[in-house]
Amino acid sequence: MSLISFLSKILTFSQEESPVFLLVGLGNPGEQHKKNRHNIGFMAIDEIAKSYGFPAFKSKFQGSYSEGRIGAYKVGLLKPATFMNESGRSVGVATQFYKISSAHIIVFHDELDLPPSKVKIKVGGGHAGHNGLRSLDAHLGDKNYKRVRMGIGHPRDLGGDKNGVSSYVLSNFPKADHKWLENVLYGTEKNIELLLDKKNDEFMTRVAEITK
């Protein structure tokens, strides 16, 4: 074997071992939080893992972690176990370990300022009071990661207590929301390759078609 062939094999092995993208779901660990509105990010990651045949999640990077392939890309899936307000600790450890740039980090999270079932993409910008994003900004030192904002509505717009945000996001999705939630999660995992290919607008269009 020539030196060039040897080095090529080493490089290929190295690329196969390290994920190109890190997909992060925000939420709180524990069975009691599993169906909370605040955990829609975790739900999205679980659906992606199931759809693409990722191996079982293992405890790593202060969270639950799995690696697999989505299309042509090696991808890491992460659900921080540090609770929402400290999500950045887990994500920071994973990104430093794999040297993943912010441009290859995609974060799925609940969004109060979008109506239920609406999904929008945002790159960079402020955290808008979302404590999970606030923690990510602090630990990553770079806000230019991609956010998949998954609308859950705001209690003030849904006839609830406008000051009851905490109890609202930490409550389970009611039965009436299950159908649109199922559609959002399906639309997300079905079209995830578009996000990896940086086709953000097409991703939003495809998800909207499924959830309308």
* CB burial readout 130-146, b (16+ within 10 A) else e: bbbbbbbbebbeeeebb
CB contact at 8 A, 206 and 65: no
Given CA atoms 116, 189, 45, 14 in this order, what sign does their dihedral have? negative
Q: How far apart are CA 166 and CA 149, in angstroms?
A: 18
**Catalytic residue flag (residue 33):** no
Task: Please give the helix or strand (H or E) that residue 106 lies within, else none.
Answer: strand 105-111
| Residue 79: DSSP 8-state | E
* Catalytic choice (33, 38, 109, 139): 38
**Residue 55 burial (C-beta neighbours within 10 Å; 0-12, 13-18, 19+):** exposed
CB contact at 8 A, 94 and 76: yes
Q: What are phi and psi of 27, to 5 degrees?
A: 175, -170
Q: Please give the single-letter amino acid code of residue 154.
A: H
CB contact at 8 A, 173 and 37: yes
- The catalytic residue positions are 38
